[in-house]
Structure 1
Amino acid sequence: MKDKNHFLPLLIDMSDKKVVIFGSGSVGERKAKLFSEYAKVTIVSRSFHDVFYELEEKYDIRLIKADAGKLTDEEINDIIRDAFLVIPATNDRSINERIVVLSKSFGILTNEVDAIGDVTVPAVIKRGGLTISISTTGSSPAFSRFTRQQVEKIITPEFADMIKIQDEMRTYLKGEVPDQKDRKEILWEILESQEVWDGLKESYEKGFNTAQGIVRKKISEKVR
């Protein structure tokens, strides 16, 4: 059994990565919906329902109609070759295990349904430029979802707007305030300003204008 303490959360650019999913059941569908937005996805299954054809139209994915249990090792190898990640999600454990063995022979990472593979897929919260991942490393997917729901109550949509304000003000301050410590203090004051957060609840413009007022005031104080 893998040591769960050795799993490290990473953010990886998946735009040029190939992901192969075997199976189109509930797990395969969930994985397809997730990875299709970010990677080049190939899905292998005996049949596909409408969701997969909708994904095919919208994203860069490839659908292969085939029974994984009847494919030869050579045929599976041809499908998974050059893949970054393989997800065996059929309803047959022996087929999944066979795909894992073949994947590992190529040094390909696996996300397994029946066991802890090389990769676990966390519950994810995205708020603009902010990404939060939550995982129990396979111990309790339900608890991961529950935790995500609790965190979503705290990390509201305004966080995405605050990140945008921070980015814009940080860029502006680099040209106006030479001292990095002073810039950091101003940006932190914006983060802690309840007036800015309240403004963002009404509109981005109101929050931005309030933050801009803080910046102008601080710069004028530094000039004196």
Structure 2
Amino acid sequence: MIPLLHDFSDCRVLVFGGGPVGARKARRFDHEAEVVVVAPEFADADFGEATLERASPDPTEVSEWLDRIEPALVVAATDDAAVNAAVERAAGDRGVLVNRADHSGERSPGAVVLPAIARDDPVVVGISTQGGAPAVSGVLREEIEREIDGAGALAGFVGDLRERFADLGVDGPHRRDALRAIARSDRIRALVADGQTDQAREVAETVLTEVRNSSE
């Protein structure tokens, strides 16, 4: 499997299953997508901003829900293996991405595994064991969260510099090398973390000058 980031803005995600797993899946997407959860009953859990549809579709009725909702992704998270299998088949027939919560290991084409996520926006790191050992993914996420603390501010700072250097006409190779050196600089990272962006920018300009001079 190949990790990808997918923009679900203005998309719909359809979740079958109203238990804790369905709730967790719904929360994963509701900050970006329109989420609809279908289940005969719903656990006392946080489903975020998802729309809850009380229904109990059997395997022959699953496809009707996909045709009605037209999701970009469908999640099979019920406790009925036959329903989950029907969701997987219906998604495959329509070329829709599918995440089957009751499966691990080998998966069908179009299957999606939702990784554990460490986030410090705009930095996002996904960790997956391809569904085989979620506990390991969770432990690694905790470790990575500590490692990337402050990375979001640094990414924003370097992103602004990238645009500034381009506006100044800095050529591609010099711009790339300078930005990498800036991202590696402990001093700049400390200044950005402390909110001293003006001072960090001065140091960054010095780094750019050094990179340019080193190639002459």
- For the aligned pair, the TM-score class normalised by the smaller chain equals 0.7 to 0.9
Q: CA separation in 2, counterparts of 1:122 and 1:219?
A: 37
1:201 to 193, 197, 202: 193
Structure 2 residue identity aligned to 1:95:
V
Give, in angstroms, the shift of residue 14 of structure 1: 1.1
Residues 218, 151 of structure 1: CA spacing in aligned structure 2 closer, same or farther, 3 A cutoff? closer
Name 2:145's counterpart in structure 1: 152
Give the TM-score normalised by the residue count of structure 2: 0.83
Is 1:39–2:27 an aligned residue pair?
no
Name 1:4's counterpart in structure 2: none
Is 1:25–2:19 an aligned residue pair?
yes
Q: Superposition pairs for residues 49-198 of structure 1, below 5 Å? A: 49=44, 51-52=46-47, 55-56=48-49, 61-69=50-58, 73=60, 75-81=61-67, 82-116=70-104, 117=107, 118-156=111-149, 158-198=150-190
Count of aligned pairs between the two proteins: 204
Structure 1 residue identity aligned to 2:176:
K
Structure 2 residue identity aligned to 1:103:
A
Q: Which has the higher helix share?
A: 1
Give, in angstroms, the shift of residue 115 of structure 1: 1.6
Structure 2 residue identity aligned to 1:101:
R
Give, in angstroms, the shift of residue 39 of structure 1: 1.6
Checking the alignment, whether the CA contact within 8 Å between 1:80 and 1:103 is kept in structure 2 is: yes
2:6 to 12, 15, 25: 12
Residues 196, 78 of structure 1: CA spacing in aligned structure 2 closer, same or farther, 3 A cutoff? same
Checking the alignment, whether the CA contact within 8 Å between 2:116 and 2:126 is kept in structure 1 is: yes
CA displacement 1:166-220 (0-9 Å, x = unmatched): 11111112232433333233323322322222223322xx1x2222112444567
Q: Which moved more, 1:26-35 or 1:186-195?
A: 186-195
Structure 1 residue identity aligned to 2:184:
E
Give, in angstroms, the shift of residue 133 of structure 1: 0.8
Structure 1 residue identity aligned to 2:166:
K
Name 1:3's counterpart in structure 2: none
Root-mean-square deviation over aligned CA pairs = 2.3
Secondary structure of 1:102's partner? helix
Q: Which moved more, 1:186-195 or 1:7-16?
A: 186-195
Checking the alignment, whether the CA contact within 8 Å between 2:36 and 2:51 is kept in structure 1 is: yes
| Gaps in structure 1 of 5+ consecutive residues | 1-6
Is 1:213–2:202 an aligned residue pair?
yes
Give, in angstroms, the shift of residue 163 of structure 1: 0.7
Give the TM-score normalised by the residue count of structure 1: 0.80
Q: CA separation in 1, counterparts of 2:45 and 2:135?
A: 27
The alignment-based identity, stated in percent, is: 27
Give, in angstroms, the shift of residue 13 of structure 1: 1.4
Residues 182, 34 of structure 1: CA spacing in aligned structure 2 closer, same or farther, 3 A cutoff? same
Q: CA separation in 2, counterparts of 1:184 and 1:129?
A: 19
Checking the alignment, whether the CA contact within 8 Å between 1:177 and 1:219 is kept in structure 2 is: no
Structure 2 residue identity aligned to 1:104:
G
